[in-house]
Amino acid sequence: MADKIYGIGRNIIVKKNEEQEAAKKEFIDCFKLLEEHLGDRTCFAGDKLGFVDIALVPFYTWFKAFETFGKFSIESEFPKLIAWTKRCLQKESVSKSLPDQHKVYEFAVDMRKKLGVE
């Protein structure tokens, strides 16, 4: 699933028009499935971080880029996943290991310029 999200997210950032809209729709469909699976649990495996949590939480750092270039709000679309992300970030081992969202966004802006998307 992480590979799929990476590819879809990349397309939200580097594609335009119909291709970008298709990637956004696919992203939303994937995250709806993830939110359904998470349900009301604290983490995907229950009360403690598990493999799925560890594989997915790094995508949080890309959310600003996905939202900006895809023109949608992850928080309004997926409130349970945002709450899950905030719980994960309360763990020092998670918060200290993830890059800053703004630096990742700046990287995405540079990537778009280099690819001629801007």
Euclidean distance between CA atoms 78 and 25, whole angstroms: 14
Q: Helix crossing, 2-14 with 17-38: angle to 10°?
A: 150
- Tell me, what CATH number does 42's domain have? 1.20.1050.10
Task: Kindly state the tokens that stand for 81.
Answer: 């996943």
Domain residues for 69? 2-115
Q: What is the pLDDT of residue 118?
A: 75
Number of domains in the chain: 1
Residue 28, Cβ density class (10 Å: 0-12 exposed, 13-18 middle, ≥19 buried): middle
CB 34 within 8 A of CB 81: yes
Q: What is the pLDDT of residue 21?
A: 95
Q: What is the pLDDT of residue 44?
A: 94
Q: What is the pLDDT along the chain (118 residues), one digit of tens a residue?
A: 777 899 999 999 999 999 999 999 999 999 999 999 999 999 999 999 999 999 999 999 999 999 999 999 999 999 999 999 999 999 999 999 999 999 999 999 999 999 998 7
